[in-house]
Structure 1
């Protein structure tokens, strides 16, 4: 996927990206693009850009959080002194705000590259310079922090939730009261009997806490599903 914008917000035009840093020029390693996002803390949908496949995966994982209120890609830079006394600036990849009010600055890097360039040391210096006005904490997310299946599941949830069928979801809420768990996603979807909405509705319910599965593995019809909030 290169330099694409995916609009899932219907007829309402999205607001532009808030990124404060110019998107890097395309290279053979980049996978730039953007998606249209509607968060519950936003009055309008907005375009959110990513600059790599890893950033894209992390973005979908963040959007799948039930407590996400705000997300800002490439927020204003932080000025800091590195461990050799040189003045530098750093742009975080994402700045998020959670329903608790906590704000977290997120750096995204491949694990091998972060280790090779001493990025963890830089983050320690950045943490020392970061004020509470910007964020309460910072987190480094690498490709070792999640599985590809976990990111793909989150991407599918984002896709499915754009066309959520409320009637099917209400029926599922009733159906689970009369079923024995654990069962399979396919069996539950068949029992729901909502046509092509059945699998999508069960999938959405997994991310919204009605059901739970092992999200680190691909979610398909054979996946074991349990009743209750995901832990």
Structure 2
């Protein structure tokens, strides 16, 4: 039997950190069968690799879009419930779907609901009551995300960014950054890929630069080879 030694340069797999949810999230019902809603988990693509659970397809889309934002530093799901008194004077509790930490130190409590359901259940009023009584130690503000805030192109780009971040490539990232040194205005992603070489690897590296805010997308729509991007440094030099 031949013993195969691992390469010293081979990446070492490490398991993601566990979820920080304040409660257990079951993916099955009491009979052991999958629940009707789309429940699952993904690994955070920012900060420490960590498992984040979601409890619906809409929550998954919202989570991906939150993770894709360059100003977001951490997303936590299902943090401790918040107490508030409703319009009838009844003490109630609410658990937000996500808690978002931004690069400027802001903490945002995020609720995710289908728009029509939120409207029918007077959820807007409920969040208003919670916001009026919310302690600054819990969150700085409350945001409601519905399907109206999640257009298809935004979701597509978020999924692309998430996949690219989870597939780091130092040599491709270096080549992409080198290609930026002579950038003096808007350029198509495809042309930037040609400058950097490595084709598909460079495309994903450019997506990571967009995610980091190193490149700014100059148009609305899906990120692809025809997308125009520009360096914020070039924008500042013009201003």
TM-score clears 0.5: yes
TM-score (normalizing by structure 1): 0.84
Q: Identify the residue that residue 226 of structure 2 maps to in structure 1.
A: 222
1:14-25 map, 5 Å: 14-23=16-25, 25=29
Q: After superposition, what is the alpha-carbon deviation per residue over 1:179-226, rounded to whole angstroms, capped at 9, x for unaligned?
A: 564332222212221133021111111122222225751111222223
Number of matched pairs: 218
Unmatched tracts of structure 1, length 5 or more: 1-8
The 3 A distance-change label for structure 1 pair 69 and 183 is closer
RMSD: 2.4
SS of residue paired to 1:17 = coil
- Structure with larger Rg: 2
Q: Identify the residue that residue 51 of structure 1 maps to in structure 2.
A: 55
Q: Identify the residue that residue 91 of structure 2 maps to in structure 1.
A: 87
Distance in 2, Cα, partners of 1:168 & 1:15: 27
Which one is further off, 52-61 or 179-188?
179-188
Q: Paired residue for 2:43, among 33, 36, 40?
A: 36
Q: After superposition, what is the alpha-carbon deviation per residue over 1:125-153, rounded to whole angstroms, capped at 9, x for unaligned?
A: 11123212211211111111231211221
Q: Paired residue for 1:130, among 125, 129, 134?
A: 134
Distance in 2, Cα, partners of 1:66 & 1:202: 14
CA contact (8 A) 1:150 1:216 kept: no
TM-score (normalizing by structure 2): 0.81
The 3 A distance-change label for structure 1 pair 215 and 36 is farther
Distance in 2, Cα, partners of 1:10 & 1:147: 37
CA contact (8 A) 1:80 1:129 kept: yes
Unmatched tracts of structure 2, length 5 or more: 1-10
Is 1:209 matched up with 2:213? yes
Q: Paired residue for 1:157, among 150, 161, 178?
A: 161
